[in-house]
Amino acid sequence: MKDIEKVIKTLSKEIRKFKTPIVTEFSFTKSPYKVLISCLLSLRTKDEVTSKASYSLFNVADTAERMIKLSEKQIQELIYPVGFYRTKARRIIEISKTIINNYNGKVPDEIDELLKLKGVGRKTANLVVSLGYSKPGICVDTHVHRISNRLGWVRTKTPHETEFALRKLIPVKYWSLINELFVRYGQNLCKPVSPYCSICKIRNYCKRAGILSSR
């Protein structure tokens, strides 16, 4: 437990030197809808592309009510070139309609309800709950999954397994921090291949599980 707290406190200072992920930026707007849609756009897409697409889209429509007034083609043009932009445009319209029809225009604030939205998985649901509503949630993407295993906190094969293992391991007060800490650190230092272990501030707490080479 002490090591976990030390890692979290150390990374909280370290990540200040790195750029804030775009989905986190939208959490500052206090709009769960923007968090949800920007998270959907970010799937399999680089952050800089997601940023440009999100701002382009929200400048035209930043609520579910405004979004459904756009055609699928209009949304495609606004979010291009995010990955799978055609599918995402269709999903955005479907989700926006569901939010209006089933939730009175308000994005659900419970994971189980968010998972009912077509195209929303646990990663997105947890991010909306934690960033959009400031409620406990552990969003596990490839960075969180990789770093949690490298540290030796968990021994899991999938992000799904990692989420539930971390829920048992990490104090609830830190749940919402984990994604931003590990995403920023994973993008910049704890990379998938040949991480920068020589300059890593948490290397003394890391078991370096699965690391074959490092810098």
Bin 82: left if φ > 0, else alpha if -120 < ψ < 50, else beta: beta
Residue 47 falls within a domain, yes or no? yes
Residue range 85-119, pLDDT digits in tens = 999 999 999 999 999 999 999 999 999 999 999 99
Longest dimension (CA), the chain: 54
- Looking at 101, 132, 163, which one is the last position of a domain? 132
Give mean pLDDT, residues 151-160: 97
| Percent share of the chain, pLDDT over 90 | 92
Q: Label residue 27 by pLDDT band (50, 70, 90).
A: confident
What CATH number is attached to the domain comprising 109? 1.10.340.30
Determine which of 14-28, 114-128, 138-152, 182-196 has the lowest per-residue pLDDT on average. 14-28
Contact 178, 12 (CB under 8 A): no
| Per-residue pLDDT tens over the stretch 30-72 | 899 999 999 999 998 999 999 999 999 999 999 999 999 999 9
Considering only residues 52 and 27, tell me which one the structure prediction assigns the higher pLDDT. Answer: 52
pTM (predicted TM-score): 0.90
In this prediction, residue 21 carries a pLDDT of 85
Instruction: Please say which residue of 132, 156, 172 terminates a domain.
Output: 132
Q: Which residue has the higher pLDDT, 120 or 28?
A: 120
Same domain as 51, residue 91: yes
Say if residue 52 is in the same domain as residue 91.
yes
Residue 9 lies in a domain: yes
C-alpha R_g of the chain: 18
Q: What pLDDT, on the 0 to 100 scale, is given for residue 77?
A: 98
Answer with the one of 106, 132, 158 that is the final residue of a domain: 132
Is the pLDDT assigned to residue 24 strictly greater than 90?
Answer: no
Provide mean pLDDT across the span 158-170.
97
124 and 42 co-located in one domain: yes
- The residue range of the domain holding 7 is 2-19+138-205
Asked if the structure places residue 210 within a domain, the reply is no
pLDDT of residue 1: 66
Cα distance between residue 94 and residue 117, in whole Å: 8
pLDDT at residue 134, rounded to an integer: 93
Q: How would residue 129 be classed by pLDDT, with cut points 50, 70 and 90? A: very high
Confidence of residue 25 (pLDDT cuts 50, 70, 90): confident
Q: How many domains does the chain have?
A: 2
User: What is the mean predicted confidence (pLDDT) over 125-154?
Assistant: 96
